[in-house]
Structure formats: C-alpha cells, structure tokens
Chain A
Amino acid sequence: MYRPGIIALGMVALVLTLVWAGGFAFAVYDVVSAHPPAAPPERPSSAISPGSDTAIRLVGLGDSLTRGAGDPEGLGYLGRLRQQVAEARKQPVYVHNLAVNGYRSDQLLNRLRTEPAFRQTVARADLITLSIGGNDLRVAAQETGVDLAHAQRVFDETLVRVVQIVTELRAINPRAPIVYVGLYNPYARWPEGEAITALIERWNAEVAARTAHIPNVAVVPLVDVFRFHLDEYLAVDRFHPNDAGYAAIAERLWQVVR
C-alpha cells in the first residue's frame, strides 16, 4: 500500500537531516574551537592582475574635490573628464576614484606609503589627478583663527607633504602625467575673502614652484575658474562645487591633458 515515491522522499529527507546535522556540528566546532593562526595564502607572483586590455586608467587621489562631493550627479570632475577622454580617444576609460572626503595630506601620504593595493592602482595609472592640502589649511584656519604663526607653520608643513606625495607618486609611476588640482576660493564673498584669495594664490604658486623639478607634473590653479562664477559653480553648501562647477573643472583639466 505504501507509495515508493513518498518513502523515497522520506529517506532523502532523513539523509539530508544527517547532512545538515553534520554541517551544523562542523560549524559549531569551527566557531567555538581555537584555531591556530592561519598561514596567509600564497600571493600570486604578479600582484597586478593581467593588464591585457588597452584601456586608459584615470586615478584620482585626495579629498572631497576629487571625490566629487556636492555633485548631484555623483560624477565629480573625474567622471566628466572620463567622458571627454573616452570621446576623444575612442578607447575604454577606467576611473579609479580613491579620494576620501575630508582627507588631509598626512593621511594620503601615509596610505600611499603603506598600502600595497593603493600603490598598485597608482602604478597602473595613465593619468593621476590629485587634490590635497585644502583640508589641512582649512582646519588650521578654523582652529587658530588669528594665530598667524601657527597658520604659517601648517602652510609650510602641508606644502612639504604635498611635495612628498607628488614625489612618491612619481616614484611609483614614472610614466603617467600627474595633475595637481589647485585650490579655489569658495569664501571670496566673505569679509576676509581677499586675504584668503591671496593665500590660496600663494599656495597654488608654491606647489607649482616646489614640484617644478619633478617631470611630467602640472599644477592647475582653480582660483581663476571660480573667480567670476561663484554663485553658478558652488553647491548648496557654498563650499563644494556643484555639477556646473565640476564640469568647469573637468573642462579646464581637459585643456591641460588632451
């Protein structure tokens, strides 16, 4: 009277129950028991995956400006630059945006020196864009207010680190052009606006002067780009660029690298 199908089903279910119980016992044992530290698995001899493709790689490093903060479309200047390069070169263009909002020069330098994967990406880049230093200066200005001596010290220290970063990048990747995206002045309308503009102009010029000996480096100051278009180019936070601002930066960079 018994139907063989049902009996088979029951048998299968019984076997499965044992299987799951085994897996369960294994899992509990694995989680609860102490394991000797695992030997790290062997790395493949080439840490870089095969770069057989003929694509152009753009690598962006630095702070929120490169990240694209404030852009409602989330592209930033790097995403827009990619479109322009792809259009002109008729080649696939890869973007590696490694920028972090709020990054300071010491954080970037440290990462560049210690993180192998970070260095690999830089090593494979065909164009490196970099925006850093703005947060160092801004934080110093907010902290100290009137302490000009301290502000000058931060200015000098940051400058040294930026030059170190560019030098490091050049050492990792001797080939790709490096574009330092300079600072612009979102505070031009403030009472202190003129003083800040003077400081930023000095900063951009100093970076250009101190990196002049490193081959294949361009410093693109953005003060001029934003000078007459502040309302047009700034996002609602009145600090980061908006989509039009990023488009203007990308346009400016395209003039440099095309």
Chain B
Amino acid sequence: MLGLVYNEILKVVRKKRFYVVLAILAVLIPVFTYAQYKTTVEQQERLGTKDWRIIVQQEIVDLQNRLTSARLSDEWRRLLQIRLQQRQYYLEHDINPLAPGAVTFARVFLERSASLFVPLLVVVVAADMVSGEHTGGTIKLLLTRPVRRWKILLSKYLALQLFVSLIIAVTVLLAYLISGVVFGYGGWTMPVLTGFQVTGEGVLTDRVHVLPQGLYLLMQAGLVWYATAVVATLSFLLSVLLRSTAAAMGTMLSALIAGVILTEMVSSWQTAKYLFVVNLQLTDYLAGNAPPIEGMTLPFSLAVLGVWGAAALLAAFWVFTRQDMLT
C-alpha cells in the first residue's frame, strides 16, 4: 500500500501540477503584499499617523457614518454593526487588530483565501488524480497490475490528501516568508481576540478570550484544512466520474465560485445552508464574523461538510470499482 501511495505522489510531482500551484502562489502573494503595503501607507498618510488607536477610531467613525445611510440593507447594517462592536472591543482592551507583521499577513491572507483560493489550488491537483489516467491512456496499464481496484483508488486518495496538507503549508509559509520582507517577521505572540458570538441581536462578548496569533494561525489552518479536504474529496469524485481533467476542474470551479456568490445572497434562503459551498468559510466562526445564514454554527458546518465528503468518497469507490474501463 505504501508503495502505491509512493507511486501516486511521484506521479503528481512528475506531472508538475504541484509546481503550477507553487508558481501561482509565488506570483500572487507578492501582489497581495504590495496591495496591503499600499493600503497601510495610504491610511497612514491620510490620517497623518501611525497610531493604530487613531486608525481604529477612524474606522469606527467611518462605520458609524456608513450606518447612518438610509439605503443600507438590513444584512449589511448587521454586519457593519458587528464589525463596529468588535473594533470598539479592541480599542477598549488596547489590542491592535491591524498590527503589521508577516504573521498577521499570513493570518489575514489565509482567512481571505479559505473559501475560494486555497480550494482552487487543491482542485488543480485533485481534478487530475483519476481522469489523468484516462486522458493519458495509462488507466489500463494501472488496472492490469495484480492489485485490487479499491487499493489503487485508496492510494490515489491518500496521496491527494497529503498534497492538500502540503498546499496549505506552502500557502502559509510563502505568505509568511514573502510578506515578511516588507512587514517584518514578527507577530507570533501578538494577542488576537476570538470567541465573539454572533447572534441575531449583535455580538456577545462574554466568551471572548485572547490567543497568541501563532496559535490562532494554526487553528485557522486546521479549519481550512478540513474544508479543503472536503473540496478535494468532491473533486476526486468528479475526476472519477467525468474522466476528463478539464471537465472535472471546470465543474468544481463553477461550484466554488457559485458558492462565493451564493454566500452573499442566501441569507433569506434557509435550506441553502445544506450546500457544501456555503459552509466553506469555517474561519468565520473563529473570527466571529456573521455566518452567511443565521443560525449556522461550527458543528453544523462541520457536519454538512463531513456528510458531503463521506458521500463523495463512497460514490467514488462505488463507481470506480464497477466502472467499465475499456471505453
């Protein structure tokens, strides 16, 4: 079995898809770093200060100004109010939520990429796992070996999950290393507030507590890992079903992008919370952002994602062990 997994890792490395992922990250992270840098500098110039208290205070005033607009939708108003209350909490407890530093950048970057960017990178690898064998015609060679089909599929799946872990690690590592050139490599022990509970009325702060940012980053990566593993499993199923890398990738891509659009729109469509794409932003529960649909909780999202993943995995094995490979 280990030999089979080794083979599958070797195949992924040979196909250079993992390098594509690395290249995407190596190009995009400097772009985001620069954007973040410009934002920080511009903010400091406009306010004429580097004092974060004044920047946060200005944010509070800006939020209050936006809240006075009569044309604000109720969802937006609630969102802005939550952000306002959090900012006030930070100010009152003298914690800088914007402290520059590579760890902060990595944390924010991972949070922003949790529901689309990291899953997309994983899809690049996952969509090819099985269908690549069809396209290359190597599937017959593979299946004529005296190994049970389910073992072959399992080795592919395990290799894929190893690459999921690698991709998340590389994302965090590159974000840290590249942004550190500009922002400095500090910030591991900076206190981050977590435990905001979003309710219909606003934010409860009685369970708010402080974590060092390094630990927060690890927890965040763990949540991203879980969500991404489920996306990888679904892509894996599509790769088995569609036998074409492009089709599998396209399908998964549109599902993910549709998910991003849906999360903006679904707040009144209750049953949409059973779709996996709406549940991908697990980091929201950690950061205390409002979930896309009221009443969604972390255990709920984990369960939904888990059911989707398990069903996809079962379906993949069921189909793969029965498929007629000659066509």
- What distance in Å separates the Cβ of B171 from its nearest Cβ neighbour in chain A? 12
A23, B210: Cβ atoms closer than 8 Å: no
B191, A16: Cβ atoms closer than 8 Å: no
Interface check A160, CB cutoff 8 A: no
Interface check B166, CB cutoff 8 A: yes
- Report whether over half of chain B's contact residues are helix, strand or loop; otherwise say mixed: helix
A31, B57: Cβ atoms closer than 8 Å: no
A23, B225: Cβ atoms closer than 8 Å: yes
Closest chain B residue to A33, Cβ basis: B207
Residues of B within 8 A of A38 (CB): 195, 208-210
Interface check A30, CB cutoff 8 A: yes
- What distance in Å separates the Cβ of B16 from its nearest Cβ neighbour in chain A? 14
B64, A100: Cβ atoms closer than 8 Å: yes
Residues of B within 8 A of A26 (CB): 215, 218-219, 222
Beyond A27-B219, A35-B195, whether A13 also contacts B10 by CB under 8 A is no
- What distance in Å separates the Cβ of A203 from its nearest Cβ neighbour in chain B? 23
- What distance in Å separates the Cβ of A188 from its nearest Cβ neighbour in chain B? 26
The contact string, 1 if C-beta is below 8 Å from chain A, for chain B 60-91, is 01001100100000000000000000000001
A101, B222: Cβ atoms closer than 8 Å: no
B57, A30: Cβ atoms closer than 8 Å: no
- What distance in Å separates the Cβ of B231 from its nearest Cβ neighbour in chain A? 14
User: Considering the complex, which residues of chain A in the window 1-58 have a beta carbon less than 8 Å from any beta carbon of chain B?
Assistant: 2-3, 6-7, 9-10, 12-14, 16-17, 19-28, 30-32, 34-35, 37-38, 40-41, 43-44, 47, 49, 55
Residues of B within 8 A of A164 (CB): none
Q: Which of B94, B194, B285, B298 has a CB less than 8 Å from the CB of A41?
A: B94
Q: Which of A14, A31, A47, A98 has a CB less than 8 Å from the CB of B285?
A: A31
The contact string, 1 if C-beta is below 8 Å from chain B, for chain A 178-214, is 0000000000000000000000000000000000000
B9, A121: Cβ atoms closer than 8 Å: no
Q: Which of B48, B51, B162, B215 has a CB less than 8 Å from the CB of A14?
A: B162
Q: Which of B47, B92, B163, B225 has a CB less than 8 Å from the CB of A20?
A: B225
Interface check B115, CB cutoff 8 A: no
Beyond A13-B163, A49-B53, A92-B48, whether A27 also contacts B222 by CB under 8 A is yes
Residues of A within 8 A of B5 (CB): 10
Residues of A within 8 A of B161 (CB): 17
- What distance in Å separates the Cβ of A12 from its nearest Cβ neighbour in chain B? 7
Beyond A20-B225, A41-B95, whether A30 also contacts B219 by CB under 8 A is yes
Interface check A102, CB cutoff 8 A: yes
Chain A residues with a Cβ closer than 8 Å to the other chain, count? 53
Closest chain B residue to A98, Cβ basis: B61
Interface check B258, CB cutoff 8 A: no
B91, A117: Cβ atoms closer than 8 Å: yes
Closest 5 pairs (CB-CB, A-B):
A23-B222, A24-B222, A94-B48, A27-B219, A13-B162
B residues contacting A by CB (< 8 A) are 5-6, 9-10, 13, 47-49, 51, 53-54, 57-58, 61, 64-65, 68, 91-95, 161-166, 168-169, 191, 194-195, 206-211, 215, 218-223, 225-226, 282, 285-286, 298-299, 302
Instruction: Identify 8 new A-B residue pairs, CB closer than 8 A, beyond the known A23-B220, A100-B68, A117-B53.
Output: A19-B165, A23-B223, A27-B223, A27-B282, A31-B286, A32-B298, A40-B93, A49-B53
A residues contacting B by CB (< 8 A) are 2-3, 6-7, 9-10, 12-14, 16-17, 19-28, 30-32, 34-35, 37-38, 40-41, 43-44, 47, 49, 55, 67, 82, 92-102, 116-118, 120-121
Q: Can you report 28 residue pairs joining A to B where beta carbons are below 8 Å apart?
A: A3-B10, A9-B13, A13-B165, A14-B162, A14-B165, A20-B222, A24-B219, A24-B222, A24-B226, A26-B215, A30-B211, A32-B298, A35-B195, A38-B210, A40-B92, A49-B53, A92-B48, A94-B49, A96-B47, A96-B49, A99-B61, A100-B64, A100-B65, A100-B68, A101-B65, A102-B68, A116-B92, A117-B53
